[in-house]
Each structure stands twice: as C-alpha cells, then as structure tokens.
Amino acid sequence: MAMFFYRIGHFMTSSNIPKSILIATGNKGKIREFEQLLLPLNILLVKLDELPFIAEPEETGTTFHDNAKLKAEYYATRSGLWSMADDSGLEIDHLKGAPGVLSARYGGADASYSEKMRLVLDKLASTTESERSAQFVSVIALADPSGTVRLIAEGVCRGSIADAPRGTHGFGYDPIFLPAGFDRTFGEMNDEEKQSLSHRGKASIQFIRKMSDFTGV
Ligand code: IMP
C-alpha cells in the first residue's frame, strides 16, 4: 500500500521540478540540521521513517562523492521520489585522512561516540597542537525519481581536534572539533553558529543555489 502511494508520488514529481525531496538519511543529527538548512527551498521534506519498507544500502564507496551518489540513487529508485543524500565525515591530517568515509563505523559500528572520540584522541596523544589539523567534509547528491544524479554540492570546514571532548550540542564528533579561528568546539556551539561555519552549512548553501536550476527560486 505504502509503495503504491509513493509510486503515485513518483508520477506527480517526475517532471523537472521536484515538489518534494526525500532526505535519505536515518541520522537524526543530520535530519535536524537539514530541516533548518533547507528551509529557504520552501519544499516538502520527506523523511525515511515514512518509508520503513526500504532497507539501508551498504556504503561501499571509497569517497564521499561515491557514497553520496550511491545513497541518492538507491533511495530514489526505491521510493520514486527525488532523493538527496549527504555523505560526510571527519578527516584528520595526521591520520592520513582517517576516519574519513568510515567516520560512522570507526572503532566498530556499535562503538558509541564517546568511544570513537576516545579512539581519535588516543591516536593523537603524542601530537603537538599544529599536528592536530582536521576537516569535516559533506557531499550532497540529489537524484531524480529515475535514480539519475542531477546535482552534487559539497562543503569543507577546516579546523583541529581538541585535547578532550567539550560541549553537548550537535552530534557525532562535534565535541572534539574546533573550527578554525575558534576556541570552542562544535559541541559548545548552538545549531545556528555551527551551521554558519560547518561543512553541511556550506554544502547546503551550494545545494540551494544549484537547486534554482530546477525551481527557479
Ligand atoms: P555517513 O555520512 O552516514 O557515512 O556518516 C557520517 C558520519 O560522519 C556521522 O555519523 C558522524 O560520525 C560524522 N559526521 C558527519 N558530519 C558531522 C557533523 O556535522 N558533526 C559531527 N560528526 C559528523
């Protein structure tokens, strides 16, 4: 029944103008941020919990681009909706870009973020401040209902890894990430301040600009 409904939705939205977009992520932190960041689009955002019949894809790509495209294509073809996926992560220079695309799985998929952050801090234990440089990366892909990727946007936020987790805002590695020029972690910033600096905030601005090709806004 649900599939039937979304197939109808497919025909309603299969023109060049998306009337709604599926936010293809189960990560509650990302969903909350996108709901705020994409407000200027003035478009209906559908969440994955409305489509529980779609199983999660395996993220087999080796780059953020590959995984963002893979997820957008996968969810678009199964939902019949325009679908956007963000693949993102933390790259630490001293660890040759790790955890990178494996950020969500670092230390094991079941490891808590306290454990993942502890692992990062342990690996950086013998480093000097200048060796703790890092960046957050976000790549957003938008696929049309046929599964064709129509748009890619990306954002990078440079910074460094703090000595210890600080703050309770945000999600994931936010408590150990100091954006460049700030002595407070993302975990110590409210949503608005984080989004004005963050990788996802920058990628969303580019995404909205490129979306004007479809919507004319
Ligand atoms: P994926 O894109 O679903 O593979 O997972 C991205 C992972 O990168 C998240 O689960 C977090 O561990 C991390 N990550 C991405 N963006 C952020 C952010 O804004 N703050 C903290 N951690 C993030």
Average pLDDT of adjacent 10-residue blocks, the chain of 217 residues? 40 62 96 96 94 94 98 97 97 98 95 98 95 98 96 98 98 98 98 98 97 67
CA of 103 to the centre of ligand 1 (A): 6
Query: Which residue do the tokens 């000097």 mark?
Result: 128
Name the 3-class secondary structure at 136: strand
C-alpha span between 187 and 154 (Å, rounded): 22
Query: Which residue do the tokens 């938008």 mark?
Result: 142
Which residue, among 68, 32, 29, has the nearest Cα to 174 in the 3D structure? Answer: 29
Rounded alpha-carbon distances, angstroms, from residue 178 to 183, 186, 197, 205: 6, 6, 11, 21
Angle among Cα 202, 18, 155 to the nearest 5 degrees reads 10
Strand intervals (E) in the chain? 20-23, 44-47, 83-92, 133-143, 149-161, 177-179
CA of 203 to the centre of ligand 1 (A): 14
**For ligand 1, is residue 133 a contact (CB within 6 Å)?**
no
Catalytic residue among 86, 87, 144, 174: 87
Strands of 149-161's sheet in order across: 44-47, 20-23, 83-92, 133-143, 149-161, 177-179
Q: Ligand 1 pocket test: which of 171, 192, 197 has the largest number of ligand atoms within 8 Å of its C-beta? A: 171
pLDDT at residue 216 in the model:
53
**For ligand 1, is residue 174 a contact (CB within 6 Å)?**
yes
Name the 3-class secondary structure at 187: helix
pLDDT at residue 109 in the model:
86
Model confidence pLDDT, tens digit, residues 104-126: 999 998 999 999 999 999 999 99
pLDDT at residue 14 in the model:
45
pLDDT at residue 214 in the model:
65
Peptide bond connecting 165 to the previous residue in cis, omega within 30 degrees of 0: no
Domains along the sequence of the chain with CATH: 20-215 (3.90.950.10)
Relative to the CA of 199, which ligand 1 atom is closest? 19
Model confidence pLDDT, tens digit, residues 142-162: 999 999 999 999 999 999 999
Which residue, among 32, 73, 28, has the nearest Cα to 54 in the 3D structure? Answer: 73
Which residue, among 126, 133, 122, has the nearest Cα to 181 in the 3D structure? Answer: 133
Number of other residues whose CB lies within 10 A of the CB of residue 14: 15
pTM: 0.92
61 Ramachandran zone, left/alpha/beta (phi>0; psi -120 to 50): beta
